[in-house]
């Protein structure tokens, strides 16, 4: 039995969910999100509670059960509060700034990096060394933050690069004479 899949997802006030076939559409104050479940699980809405149940006892049905419940929960969280990833930039001369819909990154490369912000995500740079990625889709917010971080991952000797705010960089000692 899936410990995660067994828990029902509660819909807060102001949030509605409609199931059509294998697709659930969640509407809330921040927008609308939908999730298409596989044929291995059933989605049911009873009042303000969404339950996910496996079809049969196959290994795949058990695998999809908990994952589908988490995706439905992420849809509910997204339309109520949204998701946020904070990035920190460390390094001499490393900086970020927003210009319209483009994030300009100076990361010690021979050129500045222009990162085009995709639809459905808002990126802000309140300080030159801070980038905040916000949106209602958990997967999209995480992917955009990972794409920004991939331009200059933090290195273990001086800690230079782009890292998540809560990320710990394991530091190494350099060469000794």
- Average pLDDT per block of 10 residues along the chain, 177 residues long: 85 92 93 92 92 90 92 94 95 93 93 93 94 95 95 93 93 87
So what's the pLDDT on residue 79?
94
Strand pairing partners for 16? 27
Ordered structural domains, the chain, with CATH = 3-80 (3.90.930.12), 83-164 (3.90.930.12)
Backbone angles phi, psi at 129, to 5 degrees: -110, 20
Give pLDDT, residue 147.
95
The answer to whether 108 and 152 have CB atoms below 8 angstroms apart is yes
For residue 162, report the phi and psi dihedrals to the nearest 5 degrees.
-105, 125
pLDDT at 1: 64
Give Cα 157 to chain centroid, integer Å: 28
Sheet holding 41-46, edge to edge: 9-10, 49-54, 41-46
pLDDT at residue 162, as a whole number: 95
Per-residue pLDDT at 45: 92
């Amino acid at each position: 039995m899936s410990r995660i899949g067994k828990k029902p997802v509660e819909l807060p006030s102001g949030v509605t969910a409609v199931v059509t076939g294998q697709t659930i559409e969640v509407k809330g104050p921040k927008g609308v999100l939908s999730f298409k479940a596989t044929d291995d699980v059933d989605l049911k809405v009873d009042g303000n509670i969404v339950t996910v149940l496996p079809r049969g006892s196959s290994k795949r049905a058990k695998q999809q059960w908990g994952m589908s419940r988490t995706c439905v929960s992420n849809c509910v969280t997204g339309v109520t509060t949204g998701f946020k990833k904070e990035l920190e930039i460390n390094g001499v001369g490393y900086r970020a700034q927003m210009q319209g819909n483009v994030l300009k990154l100076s990361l010690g490369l021979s050129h500045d990096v222009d990162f085009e912000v995709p639809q459905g995500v808002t990126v802000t740079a309140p300080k030159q060394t801070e980038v905040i990625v916000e949106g209602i889709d958990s997967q999209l917010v995480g992917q955009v933050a990972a794409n920004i971080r991939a331009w200059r991952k933090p290195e273990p000797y001086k800690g230079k690069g782009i890292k998540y705010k809560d990320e710990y960089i394991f530091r190494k000692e350099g060469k000794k004479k």
